[in-house]
Amino acid sequence: MVLPHLSEPPILKELGPREVGRSTLWPRCRGSGPGRRAREIPLYTLDIRTQTRTECIDVTEQVQRVIDEAGLRQGAVIAQVPHTSAACTLNESADPEVGRDLVNYLDRLVPKDRELYGHEEENADAHIKTSLVGSSVHLIVERGRLVLGRWQGVFFCEFDGPRDRKMHLQLLRSV
């Protein structure tokens, strides 16, 4: 099942090495050194369009699709959200109420009331929620499949939507 608020197709874009000053950042690994270039570690991006101010979106199928398309058989995926008002986490994916329960609890724990916070941005609560949930998860891949618990899924958590968002996926191959 494809969720309508995830961009289709394609959902992934491979980015090249990042330029920093005059040098290019490449991973250091076996086989690299003077005169030799290390193997590239690809970075993919999921484009996500959120629908409400706070929501949790199950992106497990999209992450698995990136793994399939990249041909990753064994290794790991680092999923990272590059926003200060959105997060990612692992949680139960069998019951859609779990995501709603999470955002409802966080809304009670960290209310939107601007008068409670020192910095005066409208989304101060979203920054705190993001820090509590976290901006990255590390996922194991075995035989081409995510290694998750029976009911686990990968979730993108929006705390200041609706917006166009991103989740970066770094694929690490076992050698």
Distance (Å, rounded) from C-alpha 173 to C-alpha 19?
23
Please check whether residue 37 is in contact with residue 25, taking contact to mean a CB–CB distance below 8 angstroms: no
Q: How confident is the model at residue 51 (pLDDT cuts 50, 70, 90)?
A: very high
Angle at which helices 97-109 and 124-133 cross, to 10°: 120
Cis peptide bond N-terminal to 17, omega within 30: no
CB atoms within 10 A of CB 124: 19
Q: pLDDT tens across 10-36, in order?
A: 444 444 444 333 333 333 334 444 554
Distance (Å, rounded) from C-alpha 120 to C-alpha 117?
7
pLDDT of residue 144: 98
pLDDT of residue 41: 83
Distance (Å, rounded) from C-alpha 47 to C-alpha 22?
29
DSSP structure class, residue 148 = -
CATH topology assigned to domain 14-173: Jelly Rolls (2.60.120)
Q: 153 CB contacts (<8 Å, ≥6 apart)? A: 58, 60, 90, 91, 92, 93
Q: Which residue has the higher pLDDT, 33 or 124?
A: 124
- Give residue limits of the domains in the chain: 14-173
Distance (Å, rounded) from C-alpha 46 to C-alpha 82?
11
pLDDT of residue 117: 85
Q: 101 CB contacts (<8 Å, ≥6 apart)? A: none
Q: Which residue has the higher pLDDT, 20 or 163?
A: 163
Please check whether residue 49 is in contact with residue 6, taking contact to mean a CB–CB distance below 8 angstroms: yes
The pTM for the full model equals 0.78
Judged on CB neighbours under 10 Å (0-12, 13-18, 19+), 11 is buried
Q: pLDDT tens across 59-114, in order?
A: 999 999 999 999 999 999 999 999 999 999 999 999 989 999 999 999 999 999 87
pLDDT of residue 35: 53
The separation between CA 22 and the C-alpha centre of its own chain, rounded to angstroms, equals 29
